[in-house]
Structure 1
């Protein structure tokens, strides 16, 4: 098994010696610059991340939002807030242009998420995705992995949009997205549309799957051995990666929503993307977490058996564990969507307080 030598920085070693791509789970330019120095070749943004980045730099965003308001005097808080998200994404995308050029478009991508309030409207998701794709050549658009969102992904991908699935926690979701992207690529080929590297990725938010299973187990008064549930997202990611390779999907699995270093260290060596927040990257390197090619190492059989005894984990792990109509009602999906919607509301409030400060 190939492994880093003592003293080597884990993230830099994995980036240099394996096909595993490191992305930064934030579009904050300061964090992204530091992450690029560790080997990052991509980044992501969503309503929660955008809100945090804008709040972290009031010296930058207060005058920018006021300028946007002066430029667009009829726009409300929501339109101005999303204009700020677009501006943040464009700024971050510029930092990734070298990686985009070097990889031929496979990496160097900046993910921007569609408005979560559109999650039930296929046509609106497609139109926003197409508009976002025009912001920069290296933009990749996040659409929720629900039945409506997957239909929107297929149509947007057919129209030439690079896709990143979000609100995605399970193997059946990842496979449904992978199949939709294959259909889109095949439709483009059949219609003679230009072939290029889209860099499509399919996220599994492994840590959020862990979180939900802990809530579900507690509600059902089920006890597991300490640490077992921390492997649920890892097991789902390994399973999805295996199926993607078996079926020859042209998209890559992406690991997001970190809760432990396992969501990176257990995936090293795979031709996939890992997207930790910068704080996790810093902690992994500072702690000199042991790094080796582990993507094909199975989860311990005893741990996997204990997980498979949980009906909610089987829904998330089995290839046919859920139908697309069930994706939006999965507990992790409902919880995360509510967080995204709440971040939208908080962004509206932040803009309101800048435009109409309290007396």
Structure 2
């Protein structure tokens, strides 16, 4: 229970959950809306993606001036995407810098993704991560790298260069173990190169609601009462098992050696926490995934719901691995393959990643052409 002076988001933070907003726009920055969410909703970080930026550019006029200026140059649509998104992320980093400083770098981060075309190209991913990091020039900018097989090598190399990484599109526990290994490998390389490990941070973004969407689709196809009873539980079970992996990995001798050199653990981040099934409570993927040391990145609609009416029950993750494992076993007994589900979701995730990048580029190309046409008629 919260006392009358404590908001639900305050109580969530007190349980050890960092609240990050899964949204960013220039209008939100300029209007002071982001500052309000930090002050009143307990937001201590931001994640972005190309779809978010495409929506921001297509609404309102906040980007018109910069697009018009770039339209007068030889800039391509890709150049403009880079300029607009890095400018927004740098501005958001500045707004969140007091949080970063107050928490010693634990929170106060803003994430930006590498380009979609790099998802299966480690060398291109590393080059773009370095380009983005240099352009933003802020210590509290996370570079998002997808957890593809090729991405693992890119993560290790990027961390080894001292660049902080938000690893995105994680669905399976085995891939998550690979992500942790890549992070530790990167830290070992950074240490060997004489880079101060205290400034290197990482989060591992484990997607939640998408798991339920795919598993529930398969359960509905089975259609039995037993199958229906298992709906809307796989995403939370998977995330709870991921937390067990996190705890075990960072208690290992290998991790301890790095932590003793003032390295930071790679924190689990719950992504895709907006409810897609209207039968579920709109705070479901927040309330059911409360644990110390995690991040929950929420769309504003979910954040508002949590603030307004979430009923917290304390830590809902620790000690739940056994039951979570039993749930996945029950799915397997019905013929639902965990490996196939997570492989499908990764393939779909990368495809959506590519599509959203193309959407953003197309949106910018249209705006750029319109600005150039307007300039020729004046």
- TM-score scaled to structure 2, two decimals? 0.82
Whole-Å separation in 2 of the counterparts to 1:247 and 1:47:
32
Residues 269 and 297 in structure 2, CA contact (< 8 A), matched pair in contact too:
yes
Residue in 1 that maps onto 2:258? none
State whether structure 2 residue 338 is matched by structure 1 residue 314. Answer: yes
Residues 25 and 276 in structure 1, CA contact (< 8 A), matched pair in contact too:
yes
Q: How many residues align?
A: 342
**1:88-99 matched pairs, under 5 angstroms:** 88-99=88-99
| 3-state SS in 1 of match to 2:182 | helix
| 3-state SS in 1 of match to 2:268 | strand
| 3-state SS in 2 of match to 1:164 | strand
State whether structure 2 residue 126 is matched by structure 1 residue 102. Answer: no
| 3-state SS in 2 of match to 1:59 | coil
Residues 287 and 310 in structure 2, CA contact (< 8 A), matched pair in contact too:
no
Whole-Å separation in 1 of the counterparts to 2:38 and 2:168:
23
**1:193-204 matched pairs, under 5 angstroms:** 193-204=195-206
Structure 1 residue corresponding to 2:267, chosen from 239, 252, 260 = 252
- TM-score scaled to structure 1, two decimals? 0.86
Whole-Å separation in 2 of the counterparts to 1:240 and 1:184:
21
Whole-Å separation in 1 of the counterparts to 2:271 and 2:119:
20
Unaligned runs of 5+ in 1: 318-326
1:269, CA displacement in angstroms? 3.0
**1:207-286 matched pairs, under 5 angstroms:** 207-218=209-220, 225-226=227-228, 228-248=230-250, 250-258=265-273, 259=275, 260-286=282-308
| 3-state SS in 1 of match to 2:22 | coil
1:296, CA displacement in angstroms? 1.2
Residue in 1 that maps onto 2:118? 118
1:263, CA displacement in angstroms? 2.0
Change (3 A) 1:121 1:340: same
Whole-Å separation in 1 of the counterparts to 2:84 and 2:229:
40
Change (3 A) 1:46 1:227: farther
Change (3 A) 1:147 1:5: same
1:68, CA displacement in angstroms? 2.4
